[in-house]
Amino acid sequence: MSKIFDSAAAALDGVKDNMTIIVGGFGLCGIPENLITALRDSGVKGLTCVSNNAGVDDFGLGLLLQTRQIKKMLASYVGENATFEKQYLSGELELEFCPQGTLAERMRAGGAGIPGFYTPTGVGTLVAEGKEVKVFDGREYILERGIVGDFALVKAWKADTFGNLVFRKTARNFTPMAATAGKITVVEVEEIVPVGELDPDQIHTPGVFVQRIFKAPSLEKRIEQRTVRTA
Amino acid sequence: MGLTRDQIAQRISQEVKSGFCVNLGIGIPTLVANFIPDSMNVMLQSENGLLGMGPFPLEKDVDPDLINAGKQTVTALKGASFFSSADSFAMIRGGHIDLTVLGAMEVDMNGDIANWMVPGKMVKGMGGAMDLVAGARRVIVAMQHTSKDGASKLLKKCTLPLTGKGCIDRVVTDFGVLDVVKGKGFRLLEWAPDMTAEQVIAATEAPVEVAPDARPMRF
């Protein structure tokens, strides 16, 4: 069965209300722009979104906040989004903060069949509340759970038709872990190539983790902080 | 009175040794990079997935796929590598990053740090700060010594929600350089050239002992 889909909307078939959706990207870098737009247009509600950030007001996951399709957000940093602030303070939106490295590891663990792991991150802080503490070699660690999503939505630079993925520069970020942690992983890519064209030694995510692929019709790749030097 | 933000950064740059892999936080810590000599073989890590971060790009080289943890466009130096967030935090949590420099709202004499949340105000999130303070081999805090109303930010005990417990090694402020002496207080090593040790002690809530070889700061 081919993994290639015609559009983002077609590739999201089966997404329902109240699902957990893992979304790749860091800030606006490497986010699945077309999938987020298609998710908005599908009208599904009550979503739990797991992503390092929540986009900005009018781009990225911010689009789904504007339409109130997200019930709960699990993230490490949401400081760039005023809509988020408003909905969180009014109690419309649930929020769970997770340290960035813990979030990456929770996705990695979920995708790797590991239900939990111990980490020193967050010991003695609000993050540790209600979590098991265990001492290894004289140091305290807290138990964190692996995460699995009903869907994982990610973006890659290139894919072959089997779903082997190659990322570009820092657009890789959370995507390799997110891709492993979706029961159904959907990837939008800049270019689809035939199998055999990608060097097996240079593949970042093996195709077994990817169920659906489509070519992004366009990508804005918006820059949050354009900073340049003059000479 | 005291150091400028650039001078704090310049003083912290003296803590960086050749061969170090260093993660610099947002704010004053970012300025530290400006004072690390090119001759020194230092790799800057950005926790979104880049080791070997270079300066901001020329306009023609701006690439939306190449940013730092502050979401700014950057460049990659020769010898740089790109990697996933899991690998990035394996570097950090696994003790492979020699030094991290972070800003803070409060630190205390137990080595605790608070820098991510003020209850009742908008909560932005901790990002990678909790992982960095828990995992980097050495943690240096860059901050103003006192708040705008003159209250000490070097406390007996932090009042804000913590980012990490017992993880701070050294604090460099506009007033001086102080090491944490866990459970006892701070040890004053250097003070700003236009200040005295007594002034730094008076501006610090926690107990301060003056190191035997303490001296005015040199640049």
pTM of the model: 0.97
Give the nearest partner residue to B126 out of A97, A124, A167, using CB atoms. Answer: A97
Domains defined along chain B, listed by start: 5-216 (3.40.1080.10)
Q: Superfamily assignment of A15-115+145-215 in CATH?
A: Glutaconate Coenzyme A-transferase (3.40.1080.10)
Instruction: Name the least confident of B110-124, B132-146, B164-178.
Output: B110-124
Q: Which of B147, B155, B151, B197 has its CA nearest to residue B177?
A: B197
A190-200 pLDDT per residue, tens = 999 999 999 99
Look up residue B90 and give its amino acid: A
**Beta carbons of A213 and A189 less than 8 angstroms apart:** yes
What's residue A82's pLDDT?
Answer: 84
Specify the pLDDT at position B122. Answer: 65
- pLDDT single digits (tens) A22-80: 999 999 999 999 999 999 999 999 999 999 999 999 999 999 999 999 999 999 999 88
pLDDT one-digit tens code per residue, B123-144: 799 999 999 999 999 999 999 9
Q: Say which DSSP state A169 is in.
A: G
Q: Residue B90: in which H helix or E strand, if any?
A: helix B85-93
* pLDDT, tens digit, 9 for 90 and up, residues B64-76: 999 999 999 999 9
Q: Where are the domains of chain A?
A: 15-115+145-215
Say whether A173 and B63 touch across the interface (CB within 8 A): no
A218 interfaces chain B, CB cutoff of 8 Å: no
pLDDT band at residue A81 under the 50/70/90 scheme: confident
**Whether A133 contacts chain B with CB within 8 A:** no
ipTM at complex level = 0.97
Q: Residue B107 above 80 pLDDT?
A: yes
Tens digit of each residue's pLDDT (9 = 90 or more) over B21-48: 999 999 999 999 999 998 999 999 999 9
Share of chain A above pLDDT 90, in %: 94
Q: pLDDT tens digits for A146-190?
A: 999 999 999 999 999 999 999 999 999 999 999 999 999 999 999
User: How much is the mean pLDDT over chain A?
Assistant: 97
Which of the four pLDDT bands, split at 50, 70 and 90, describes residue B1? confident
Is A171–B65 a contact, with Cβ atoms under 8 angstroms apart?
yes
Determine contact, residues A28/A223, Cβ cutoff 8 Å: yes
pLDDT over 70, % of chain A = 100
CB distance from A135 to chain B under 8 Å?
Answer: no
Q: Tell me if A64 sits within 8 A of A90, measured CB to CB.
A: no
Q: What average pLDDT does this structure show over A121-131?
A: 98
**Mean pLDDT, all residues of chain B:** 96
**Contact residues, A window 59-78, toward B, CB-based 8 Å cutoff:** 75-78
Positive or negative torsion for Cα B187, B193, B197, B200: negative
Annotated active-site residue B190? The verdict is: no
Residue A115 backbone dihedrals phi, psi, to 5 degrees: -75, -20
